Amino acid sequence: MKSIVIHAAKDLRLEESQPGEPGAGEVQIALATGGICGSDLHYFNNGGFGAIILREPMVLGHEVSGHIVKLGAGVENLSVGQLVAVSPSRPCYACEYCQQGKHNQCLNMRFYGSAMPFPHIQGAFRQVLVADASQCAPADGLSPAEAAMAEPLAVCLHATRQAGEMLGKRVLITGCGPIGLLSVLAARRAGAAEIVATDLSDFTLDLARKNGADLGINMVNSPEQLTEYQAGKGHFDVLYECSGAAPALAAGIAALRPGGVIVQLGLGGDMSLPMMAITAKELQLRGSFRFHREFFTGVELMQKGLIDAKPLISHTLPLEQAEDAFTLASDRSQAMKVHIDFS
């Protein structure tokens, strides 16, 4: 089988290896679709991000779906041929945070395609994947491409839980990549009354409007549009900061009403914070990191037609063009979510 392996920045290779056999409680999956995530792009373009740096070759990828081809002993709730979305979240269920129900903070997390620990946790961009049955969400009724959107959707569902009560709230979303756009869908589904999105690209802002944002503001061409929302101590109740850029965070904070909530999703390294504004406005800063149970909720929402992630899929390339897919996914002037076809 072939796997997509990153060795260093701009050094992406298709490598051959032998597929594993499923053990007890595991399944073997023929991968169908893999979505390229922002963290994958950080490894591809920069060899890592912040303090997380590649120290050995690593299989990339954690947004995947596929069809079950073999069942390990004791697996009864899944069947051969079934399409599943595969959660990359593999907590230990034994550490103190798992015992508290904070599985995304697991001390022994094995999250696909992560260079945070060493040895690195190998990813899921491989033609044949062995996974725990507990990771697999039956995706009946969805296409493989839709099922592969479950992971980024789960990130945004977790962030929406972090934000708290959303009904009737006015929401600002800074950064209109896939996470920003899925945050638009999640916030609207949770009851947000008004959603304004900001970005630097007309392409992404147009998609934000088409997927439910009331207004898209280009911060290069029309920054004054956001300035209008900063009058009277601000307008918005909730800020989803999805860019990881300090200027976006500062502009968003200026547009928040006193008592507003900042949910930080973007991971671009450490940022300086306008602490005086946060303090004077009595704002609440809440981090949002990964997810756990929201993965299965996301699949169900898509199956019920309550969230439609298909319009975010802008390109699909075959496995043999993996490097082209990563290059394309890095271009926010023409690409949103780029998928790789493993079938």
What are 139-153's pLDDT values in tens digits?
A: 999 999 999 999 999
Q: What is the mean pLDDT of residues 239-264?
A: 96
What pTM does this model have?
A: 0.95
Q: List, in order, residues 6 or more apart from 43 with CB less than 8 Å away.
A: 6, 9, 49, 54, 58, 60, 113, 115
> What CATH number does residue 42 fall under?
3.90.180.10
SS3 letters across 128-151: EEEEEHHHEEECCCCCHHHHCCHH
User: What does residue 325 show for φ and ψ, rounded to 5 degrees?
Assistant: -65, -40
For 266-319, list the strands marked E by DSSP.
284-287, 313-318
pLDDT for res 322: 98
Pairing of strands 194-199, 215-218: parallel
Beta-ladder partners of 240:
173, 263
What residues make up the domain containing 169?
Answer: 155-287
- Does residue 299 lie within any of the structural domains? no
Q: What is the mean pLDDT of residues 5-31?
A: 97
pLDDT for res 272: 86
Mean pLDDT of the chain: 96
pLDDT for res 91: 96
Beta-ladder partners of 16:
2
Read off the pLDDT band of 51 (50, 70, 90): confident
> Poorest-confidence range of 95-99, 168-172, 244-248?
244-248
Q: What is the mean pLDDT of residues 266-286?
A: 90
- Kindly calculate the radius of gyration of the chain based on its CA atoms and give it in whole angstroms: 20
Per the CB < 8 A criterion, the answer to whether 76 and 24 are in contact is no
pLDDT digits 0-9 by tens, 81-122: 999 999 999 999 999 999 999 999 999 999 999 999 999 999
pLDDT for res 319: 98
Closest CA to 64 of 15, 124, 139, 104: 124
Pairing of strands 48-49, 215-218: unpaired
Give me the number of domains the chain comprises: 2
Q: What is the mean pLDDT of residues 226-231?
A: 96
Read off the pLDDT band of 50 (50, 70, 90): confident
Q: List, in order, residues 6 or more apart from 182 with CB less than 8 Å away.
A: 149, 152, 153, 155, 156, 309, 312
Residue 130 has pLDDT above 90, yes or no: yes
- Same domain for 54 and 113? yes
- Same domain for 114 and 253? no
- Same domain for 319 and 256? no
The two three-digit tokens of residue 13, written as one number: 């290779």
Closest CA to 34 of 311, 290, 319: 319
- Does residue 124 lie within any of the structural domains? yes
The two three-digit tokens of residue 335, written as one number: 């690409």
CA distances from 42 to 183, 199, 240, 325 (A): 21, 19, 21, 14
Q: What is the mean pLDDT of residues 304-320?
A: 97
- Same domain for 10 and 140? yes
Q: List, in order, residues 6 or more apart from 343 with CB less than 8 Å away.
A: 30, 31, 32, 33, 144
Per the CB < 8 A criterion, the answer to whether 159 and 240 are in contact is yes
Read off the pLDDT band of 283 (50, 70, 90): very high
How many angstroms separate the CA atoms of 230 and 257, rounded? 8
pLDDT for res 270: 78
Residue 49 has pLDDT above 90, yes or no: no
- Same domain for 243 and 125? no
Neighbours of 236 (CB within 10 A): 23
- Does residue 304 lie within any of the structural domains? no
- Does residue 25 lie within any of the structural domains? yes
> What CATH number does residue 184 fall under?
3.40.50.720
The two three-digit tokens of residue 116, written as one number: 């945070």
- Same domain for 159 and 145? no
- Same domain for 163 and 279? yes
- Same domain for 63 and 100? yes
Q: List, in order, residues 6 or more apart from 126 with CB less than 8 Å away.
A: 1, 2, 3, 4, 17, 19, 31, 59, 61
Residue 189 has pLDDT above 80, yes or no: yes
In the chain, % of residues over pLDDT 70: 100
The two three-digit tokens of residue 85, written as one number: 């979305």
Read off the pLDDT band of 214 (50, 70, 90): very high
- Same domain for 25 and 56? yes
Q: 24, exposed or middle or buried, with CB in 10 Å at 0-12, 13-18, 19+?
A: exposed
Residue 136 has pLDDT above 80, yes or no: yes
Residue 77, helix vs strand vs coil = coil
